[in-house]
Structure 1
Amino acid sequence: MAGTSPLIPAAEHVNWLLAEVPRTPLATLQLRDAHGHTLAETVTAQHDLPLWDNSAMDGYAVRSADLAAASADLPVALRVIGEVAAGSAHDPALGAGECVRIMTGAPLPSDADAIVTVEAGEGESGPGEWAATRVFVAAPARAGAHIRRQGEDVTAGVEIARPGDLLTAVRIAALAAAGVSAVAVHRTPRVAVIATGSELLAPGEPLARGQISESNSLLITSLLAEAGITATVHAVSADDASSFGARIAELATQVDAIITTGGVGPGAHDIVRIALAAEPGVRALRVAVKPGQPQCAGVLSGGAWIFALPGNPGSAATSFELFVRPALLRMQGRTVVERTQIPVRAGTDWRGSAGRLQVLPVSVSSDDDGLVCTPAVHERRVSHAVGSGGGAVGYALVPPERGDVRAGETVQVILTGGAV
């Protein structure tokens, strides 16, 4: 492992990760199985959308010329000669003074050039009711009214999705509508999670002095799940550098990434940093961020990437958000890997962190003047205040040069989940 570096900006560390992490292999998936994956190819429409001129409303397909003289005082009567339902291939011929009932999405008869809505016509049962044999129309119909034209959405051969796009529900629906059945994607990374520390016990177990309930593996696997990744959790590692090194060496040939928490500091029992000293592709870093300054990251000899995060839960959470999540998204070929930052008004004063990017868990509410954020934990207890931080819905990002924040000032916030 490369030696510990001077304090470096958070953005520099992120940029290095995004430039260095590899892409996962490609796989071809049916659309029904592709949700949450990242597209690895350019996709074009296989046919026009819509495929043919069709009705945008329930009503009557008419010839606009027949209704040119229609008025409230002198409605025009049209003879109803049939019906075209959605999905029907029927193309009835319309003569002068004739129309057909038509349903939303049904193909427009070749002789029609407008749709009169059901509500605009009067049938035998009264205004707005379907006509059986004759409908009265009290206003002209504009040619093209309530018609969706063939190809007005997209035309065959047009690019509708690009490599790096996330396959969301609406994007999958768009691809399916355009005739696409399968796509090439980047495989979801295989990720292993290890929490380190001899003091850690499973949640609910009786605790002796010096012992704590282990929460980091649940934290990291849940954060991974929110990013669409299912992780495998491996036994909490005791403070033994030799056995830990052997474990990650074995895992490095089986997964794409390993995330560890704890053991990255300069202490004599910080086994992760000690074990990784034998890995030339891994860097030990001090990042100018609070919390989460000590980090180790890089590629292991066995092939997997390792992200070794601090052990304090708040530090682990912010480190995952700033560094690990973007890197894992980039592994999948994602082009947009960082969350959108939004300006939010501070609801109270808090102290900044001179010289370091402050990443402060916040709750967010709204008032008549917009969104307001308040610290979910005290700004000086972010790294370890896991119990009180459960109500956070995002992070306020305060630049190193800014200093303290005053109530009413605007700060940049990234929303990570939960209600606002």
Structure 2
Amino acid sequence: MITSSVSVAEHLKRVRELIQPTKPQHLSVEEAHGRYLAQTVQARVAIPSFHNSAMDGFLVHDKDLSGSGPWTLPVSGEVAAGGLPQEVVPNQALRIMTGAPISGDAKSLRVIPSEFTDASLGPAQLPTQVTIHEVPKKRHIRLRGEVVTPGEDIAHPNTLIDAGTLAFFLTAGVSHVSVYRRPQVAVISSGDELVSTANVGAAATNNVDNAAGVATGVGTADENADYRIADSNGPMVANLLAEHGPVDVRRFHVGDGTDKLTALLDELTSSSAQPVDLIVTTGGISQGAFDVVKAAAVDSPNADFWFGNAAQRPGSPQGAGLWNGTAVVTLPGNPVAAYVSATIYVLACLYILQGRVTSTPAEARSTTEWWPHCAALVHAHPTLPLPRPGKSQLVPVQVVPADTGLLAVPNTGGNPGSHFVSTLIGIDGLAVIPPAEDAEHPDSPGMATVLGWSR
């Protein structure tokens, strides 16, 4: 175990190096919705898979529209979307609907939209003839394979399978894909002072049947209940992860004794248990006499950890390491500090596990270089704190429209204290105020980089 002080970027690099993407699995495209691709996907069929009409109108030969119009042609029949293609003979027109197949040499044909003819719009009897008043520049024919050809790469690893991507895959004849498995994460809040919200201030006579509190993430009421606090960190971190799913989260709570924490960590990381990909702890890593996480890591031969201070406010105490080879990220116990730290470090781990990101720069000068996918540069409100020497400041903000563009407004009254949980209500992200020595304009807020904001 090493105790030292590092920059935010250095600690983020250390944390990320503990993580690898989950193992891929083969799923149907619909089952894979919300996951990230593990392999390149190739089209199985052409898009479009046949020549078809891009408009409702009349299919004619180009050569039948020579000279100056109007042109009147007999109508030989019609074809609808999903129908069999029909050949249009020279000097005749074929009524055709959007998406209907086209046979023959499509490059010598064109579709004249109904608006350019004397035909009735909407549902109407098939006319015996049609008069074309004008020939538009576009042919209004979609050629087979003009979007995608069979065997063409259509998506690459790390692509999110959202609703639009799903539709594209199905259209391209792709029924199954290789995606990264849903990450399994355990969140452990620590401290004898924590109880469930229902038990905050509850008297001993109101004790509830919660003997399994260590495993479920809730505490029990006792004679000290009036002096205990709600466990908000466990639910907060678990739900922050869920907001950035896919992920499966299990939540636990331990007190200040190392035995139960050590046993829990051994169980979570043993080959016989349901394996977890990442363990997140909150609290117990500072300099106190009852800092259980640090104490357990020091005592266990199964642990290889770093503990120290990251140059940030709030959330200076940080830690990370391996327990039986499984990655563990340890967060401070103060709620805002825990939220800030989870947003930076834990979500970075989750994104790697999901296969959302893979590239890790060899060197990173700032926090934002590790967050290119969800960082936005916006104007800084004058009440944002100015850069300070030696520390990054991470301020909960709302991003609002202004005359100058988008504006990051602190949700803290300028005080990003780790105990002001109210500063987390309704925020859009965290404004990163770099140390004064790294700031481009240390005397003015200027622009602000907001982490976690991608709208």
TM-score, normalisation: structure 2: 0.83
Who is 2:2 aligned against? 3
Shift of 1:127: 10
| Pair 1:111–1:165, CA change in 2 (3 A) | closer
Which of 279, 286, 290 is 1:265 aligned to?
286
| Pair 1:70–1:138, CA change in 2 (3 A) | farther
**Unpaired segments of 5 or more residues in structure 1?**
none
Who is 1:175 aligned against? 169
Query: Is 1:225 aligned with 2:225?
Result: no
Q: Is the 8 A contact 1:55 1:147 kept in 2?
A: yes
1:377 & 1:77 partners in 2: Cα distance? 74
Q: Is the 8 A contact 2:2 2:307 kept in 1?
A: yes
Give the % identical residues.
Answer: 34
Query: Is 1:345 aligned with 2:379?
Result: yes
Matches within 5 A, 1:11-410: 11-71=9-69, 75-88=70-83, 90-110=84-104, 113-123=109-119, 125=120, 131-142=126-137, 145-207=139-201, 208-253=225-270, 254-277=275-298, 278=300, 279-301=302-324, 303-335=325-357, 338=371, 339-351=373-385, 352-401=387-436, 402=439, 406=444, 409-410=446-447
The one-letter amino acid paired with 1:77 is: T
Deviations 1:216-260 (A, max 9, x none): 122111111111144443342111122111111111223121111
Deviations 1:266-323 (A, max 9, x none): 211110111112244322232122222212212211x422111111111111111111
**Unpaired segments of 5 or more residues in structure 2?**
202-224, 359-369
RMSD, aligned CA: 2.4
Shift of 1:388: 3.3
TM-score, normalisation: structure 1: 0.90
Shift of 1:68: 2.4
The one-letter amino acid paired with 2:195 is: L
2:34 & 2:434 partners in 1: Cα distance? 32
Residues matched between the structures, number: 408
- Point out the more displaced range, 32-41 or 128-137: 128-137
Shift of 1:171: 2.0
Q: Is the 8 A contact 1:122 1:128 kept in 2?
A: no
1:104 & 1:376 partners in 2: Cα distance? 52
Shift of 1:18: 2.6
1:234 & 1:141 partners in 2: Cα distance? 64
Shift of 1:160: 1.2
Q: Is the 8 A contact 1:119 1:128 kept in 2?
A: no
1:354 & 1:80 partners in 2: Cα distance? 81
Shift of 1:262: 0.8
Deviations 1:125-156 (A, max 9, x none): 489977522221111354x6111122111111
1:97 & 1:191 partners in 2: Cα distance? 69
Shift of 1:405: 6.6
2:198 alignment partner, SS class: coil
| Pair 1:126–1:377, CA change in 2 (3 A) | closer
| Pair 1:137–1:329, CA change in 2 (3 A) | same
